[in-house]
């Protein structure tokens, strides 16, 4: 069953990893996909072709989610190219890990800008369209680290916890217009972001997860399909942990 037939989605940061997985699964469920990337032009062009071959409308846009004006411009272009905007997935994110003692101001600011301010930028940009439509589903990609904290990731944890507060506020502000805002908190998902980690450490993590494996981008994408689709029509302001039981 195709759960997103006829819906238009914007996914930020989809040239690789979780975002790419969401774009692919959304397309398989019949959604038209507008996606962004920061610098991976070649990967984005390939994904655009791959998605189009699934018979839906797809387009990649180079757009820095951390930049307010670029987000405005992006949404203007997507609205022109696609028409309505039903789903926004704020997925773009980075890490710049270090213990606080060694964390530079620049690395703190950059992570907050890309991970948290981007959510403000994109939500502001789609707001008018979704208000006019009187419908919309916004999905923000947080992390279990935003729920629990993590040594060596104070900047990242702060950005991801901030996304939860922002999303709950949006659920309250926009609910009367049938715009839903939910958060996904992935646990350990095996992508380039986590590929940088030491294999021994990773093996230990896998073992500590009740489901005994790291997650895949598809695991996260399937949760996004649910939150983007009408199956979740009465769900807003929630944080859905997709973590194999990690935080249980």
Q: Which residues lie near ligand NAP (CB under 6 A)?
A: 12-19, 36-40, 64-66, 91-94, 114, 141, 143, 186, 188-189, 191-194
Nearer to ligand NAP, 40 or 178 (CB): 40
b/e code 12-33 from CB counts within 10 Å (16+ = b): bbbbbbbbbbbbbbbbbbbbbb
Give the nearest distance from C-beta 222 to ligand NAP in angstroms: 15
Tokens representing 2 are 């195709």
Smallest separation, CB 198 to ligand NAP (Å): 14
Taking the least distance from each CB to ligand NAP, the nearer of 93 and 244 is: 93
The closest alpha carbon to 56, from 35, 32, 79, 24, belongs to 32
User: At closest approach, how far in Å is the CB of 162 from ligand NAP?
Assistant: 12
| Cβ closest to ligand NAP, residue 107 vs residue 177 | 107
- Find the catalytic residue in 37, 61, 156, 234: 156
What one-character DSSP code corresponds to residue 241?
E
CB 94 within 8 A of CB 115: yes
Q: How far is the CB of 177 from ligand NAP (least distance, A)?
A: 26
Smaller CB distance to ligand NAP: residue 18 or 227?
A: 18
Contacts of 89 (CB under 8 A, 6+ apart): 9, 10, 11, 12, 19, 22, 139, 141, 224, 228
CB atoms within 10 A of CB 95: 19
156 in active site = yes
The residues carrying an active-site annotation are 156
């Amino acid at each position: 069953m195709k759960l997103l037939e006829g819906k238009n989605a914007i996914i930020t940061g989809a040239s690789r990893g979780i975002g790419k997985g969401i774009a692919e699964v959304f397309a398989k469920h019949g959604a038209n996909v507008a996606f962004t990337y920061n610098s991976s032009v070649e990967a984005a062009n390939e994904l655009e072709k791959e998605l189009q071959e699934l018979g839906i409308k797809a387009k990649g846009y180079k757009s820095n989610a951390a930049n307010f004006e670029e987000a405005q411009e992006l949404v203007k272009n997507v609205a022109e190219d696609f028409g309505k905007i039903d789903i926004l997935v704020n997925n773009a994110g980075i890490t710049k890990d270090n213990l606080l003692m060694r964390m530079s101001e620049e690395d703190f600011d950059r992570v907050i800008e890309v991970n948290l301010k981007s959510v403000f930028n994109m939500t502001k940009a789609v707001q008018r369209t979704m208000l006019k439509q009187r419908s919309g589903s916004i999905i923000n990609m947080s992390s279990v680290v935003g729920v629990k904290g993590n040594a060596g990731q104070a900047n990242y944890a702060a950005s991801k916890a901030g996304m939860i507060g922002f999303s709950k506020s949006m659920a309250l502000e926009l609910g009367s217009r049938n715009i839903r805002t939910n958060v996904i908190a992935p646990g350990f998902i095996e992508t380039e972001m986590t590929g940088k980690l030491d294999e021994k450490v990773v093996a230990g993590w896998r073992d500590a997860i009740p489901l005994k494996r790291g997650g895949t981008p598809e695991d996260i994408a399937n949760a996004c399909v649910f939150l983007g689709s009408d199956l979740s029509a009465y769900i807003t302001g929630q944080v859905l942990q997709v973590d194999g039981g990690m935080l249980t």
